[in-house]
Protein backbone atom coordinates (compact mmCIF):
# COMPACT_ATOMS: atom_id res chain seq x y z
CA UNK A 1 0.00 0.00 0.00
CA UNK A 2 2.78 2.44 0.91
CA UNK A 3 4.67 1.50 -2.23
CA UNK A 4 1.65 2.33 -4.41
CA UNK A 5 1.23 5.73 -2.72
CA UNK A 6 4.96 6.39 -2.84
CA UNK A 7 4.97 5.73 -6.58
CA UNK A 8 1.90 7.91 -7.07
CA UNK A 9 3.45 10.70 -4.99
CA UNK A 10 6.79 10.53 -6.79
CA UNK A 11 5.04 10.70 -10.14
CA UNK A 12 2.95 13.64 -8.95
CA UNK A 13 5.97 15.53 -7.67
CA UNK A 14 7.91 14.76 -10.84
CA UNK A 15 4.97 15.80 -13.03
CA UNK A 16 4.42 18.94 -10.98
CA UNK A 17 8.07 19.90 -11.19
CA UNK A 18 8.16 19.25 -14.91
CA UNK A 19 4.84 20.92 -15.72
CA UNK A 20 5.33 23.76 -13.28
CA UNK A 21 8.49 24.90 -15.01
CA UNK A 22 10.72 23.87 -12.15
CA UNK A 23 13.73 22.23 -13.80
CA UNK A 24 15.52 19.15 -12.65
CA UNK A 25 12.47 16.90 -12.56
CA UNK A 26 13.34 15.20 -15.84
CA UNK A 27 15.78 13.00 -13.99
CA UNK A 28 12.98 11.87 -11.67
CA UNK A 29 10.68 10.89 -14.53
CA UNK A 30 13.31 9.20 -16.67
CA UNK A 31 15.34 7.31 -14.07
CA UNK A 32 15.17 3.55 -14.36
CA UNK A 33 17.22 0.87 -12.72
CA UNK A 34 19.30 -1.69 -14.63
CA UNK A 35 16.31 -4.01 -15.17
CA UNK A 36 14.28 -1.29 -16.90
CA UNK A 37 11.94 -0.83 -13.95
CA UNK A 38 10.82 2.69 -13.06
CA UNK A 39 12.43 3.81 -9.84
CA UNK A 40 10.06 4.26 -6.89
CA UNK A 41 10.75 7.10 -4.45
CA UNK A 42 8.97 8.55 -1.45
CA UNK A 43 7.81 12.13 -1.27
CA UNK A 44 10.80 13.15 0.86
CA UNK A 45 13.21 11.45 -1.56
CA UNK A 46 11.54 13.16 -4.52
CA UNK A 47 11.78 16.55 -2.82
CA UNK A 48 15.44 15.95 -1.91
CA UNK A 49 16.20 14.96 -5.50
CA UNK A 50 14.43 18.08 -6.74
CA UNK A 51 16.38 20.26 -4.27
CA UNK A 52 19.67 18.76 -5.47
CA UNK A 53 18.92 19.27 -9.16
CA UNK A 54 16.82 22.45 -9.21
CA UNK A 55 18.92 25.13 -10.97
CA UNK A 56 17.34 28.01 -9.04
CA UNK A 57 18.19 26.36 -5.70
CA UNK A 58 21.75 25.58 -6.83
CA UNK A 59 22.17 29.18 -8.00
CA UNK A 60 20.78 30.53 -4.72
CA UNK A 61 23.24 28.38 -2.76
CA UNK A 62 26.08 29.64 -4.97
CA UNK A 63 24.97 33.23 -4.36
CA UNK A 64 24.96 32.51 -0.63
CA UNK A 65 28.54 31.20 -0.81
CA UNK A 66 29.61 34.35 -2.69
CA UNK A 67 27.86 36.54 -0.10
CA UNK A 68 29.67 34.77 2.74
CA UNK A 69 32.97 35.35 0.92
CA UNK A 70 32.06 39.05 0.73
CA UNK A 71 31.55 39.06 4.50
CA UNK A 72 34.99 37.52 5.04
CA UNK A 73 36.53 40.09 2.70
CA UNK A 74 34.84 42.94 4.57
CA UNK A 75 36.20 41.55 7.83
CA UNK A 76 39.68 41.35 6.30
CA UNK A 77 39.57 45.11 5.64
CA UNK A 78 40.00 45.62 9.41
CA UNK A 79 43.21 43.59 9.56
CA UNK A 80 46.67 45.14 9.20
CA UNK A 81 48.72 44.72 6.05
CA UNK A 82 52.06 43.00 6.58
CA UNK A 83 54.82 42.79 3.97
CA UNK A 84 58.10 40.91 4.07
CA UNK A 85 60.94 41.14 1.58
CA UNK A 86 64.44 39.79 1.30
CA UNK A 87 67.31 40.09 -1.12
CA UNK A 88 70.80 38.88 -1.81
CA UNK A 89 73.59 40.43 -3.83
CA UNK A 90 76.90 38.94 -4.82
CA UNK A 91 79.72 41.10 -6.18
CA UNK A 92 82.63 39.52 -7.98
CA UNK A 93 85.70 41.80 -8.36
CA UNK A 94 87.38 39.38 -10.76
CA UNK A 95 88.59 41.09 -13.88
CA UNK A 96 90.80 40.69 -16.89
CA UNK A 97 93.91 42.86 -17.12
CA UNK A 98 94.60 43.39 -20.83
CA UNK A 99 98.06 44.88 -20.22
CA UNK A 100 99.42 41.91 -18.33
CA UNK A 101 97.14 39.40 -20.06
CA UNK A 102 96.20 38.01 -16.66
CA UNK A 103 93.00 37.23 -14.89
CA UNK A 104 92.98 39.03 -11.52
CA UNK A 105 90.85 37.62 -8.74
CA UNK A 106 89.78 39.56 -5.72
CA UNK A 107 87.77 39.17 -2.56
CA UNK A 108 84.14 38.31 -3.36
CA UNK A 109 81.52 40.14 -1.40
CA UNK A 110 78.03 38.94 -0.60
CA UNK A 111 75.35 41.05 1.02
CA UNK A 112 71.93 40.14 2.30
CA UNK A 113 69.00 42.31 3.19
CA UNK A 114 65.59 41.72 4.72
CA UNK A 115 62.70 43.94 5.49
CA UNK A 116 59.40 43.80 7.29
CA UNK A 117 56.69 46.40 7.17
CA UNK A 118 53.19 46.61 8.58
CA UNK A 119 50.43 49.13 8.19
CA UNK A 120 47.01 49.56 9.73
CA UNK A 121 44.36 51.95 8.54
CA UNK A 122 43.09 53.88 11.53
CA UNK A 123 40.32 55.89 9.89
CA UNK A 124 39.01 55.57 6.35
CA UNK A 125 35.92 57.73 6.44
CA UNK A 126 33.80 54.80 7.67
CA UNK A 127 34.01 53.02 4.31
CA UNK A 128 35.00 49.73 5.97
CA UNK A 129 31.92 49.92 8.16
CA UNK A 130 29.72 50.58 5.11
CA UNK A 131 31.32 47.66 3.26
CA UNK A 132 30.70 45.38 6.24
CA UNK A 133 27.05 46.40 6.47
CA UNK A 134 26.57 45.93 2.73
CA UNK A 135 28.19 42.48 2.86
CA UNK A 136 25.99 41.45 5.79
CA UNK A 137 22.86 42.67 3.98
CA UNK A 138 23.85 40.77 0.83
CA UNK A 139 24.40 37.61 2.87
CA UNK A 140 21.04 37.99 4.63
CA UNK A 141 19.30 38.48 1.29
CA UNK A 142 21.02 35.46 -0.26
CA UNK A 143 20.15 33.36 2.78
CA UNK A 144 16.51 34.41 2.57
CA UNK A 145 16.41 33.57 -1.15
CA UNK A 146 17.88 30.13 -0.50
CA UNK A 147 15.51 29.36 2.37
CA UNK A 148 12.53 30.74 0.44
CA UNK A 149 13.33 28.73 -2.68
CA UNK A 150 13.71 25.54 -0.70
CA UNK A 151 10.45 26.16 1.17
CA UNK A 152 8.59 26.89 -2.06
CA UNK A 153 9.84 23.73 -3.69
CA UNK A 154 8.94 21.64 -0.65
CA UNK A 155 5.46 23.15 -0.31
CA UNK A 156 4.70 22.67 -4.03
CA UNK A 157 5.77 19.05 -3.79
CA UNK A 158 3.69 18.40 -0.68
CA UNK A 159 0.67 20.17 -2.17
CA UNK A 160 0.80 18.02 -5.27
CA UNK A 161 1.26 14.90 -3.12
CA UNK A 162 -1.99 15.60 -1.25
CA UNK A 163 -4.01 16.15 -4.45
Digit-coded pLDDT (tens) for 43-102: 888 888 888 888 888 999 999 999 999 999 999 999 999 999 999 999 888 888 888 888
pLDDT tens digit sequence for 109-157: 899 999 999 999 999 999 999 999 999 999 999 999 999 988 888 888 7
pLDDT at 119: 96
pTM above 0.85, yes or no: no
CB 141, CB 67: distance < 8 Å: yes
C-alpha of 117 from chain center: 32
Listed by start position, the domains of the chain span 2-77+124-162
Q: What is the pLDDT of residues 12-54, one digit of tens each?
A: 444 444 444 444 433 444 455 567 777 777 888 888 888 888 8
Nearest to 39 by CA among 48, 47, 30: 30
Sign of CA dihedral 37, 42, 48, 54: positive
How many angstroms separate the CA atoms of 158 and 95, rounded? 89
Show Cβ contacts of residue 39 under 8 Å, excluding neighbours closer than 6 positions. 31, 32, 33
> Residue 108: in which H helix or E strand, if any?
none
> In this predicted structure, what is the pLDDT of residue 84?
97
Amino acid sequence: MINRFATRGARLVAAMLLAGGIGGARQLVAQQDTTGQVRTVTLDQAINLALQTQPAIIQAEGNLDVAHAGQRQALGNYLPTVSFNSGMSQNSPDRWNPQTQQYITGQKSVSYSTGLSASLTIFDGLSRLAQSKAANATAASADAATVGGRALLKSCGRERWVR
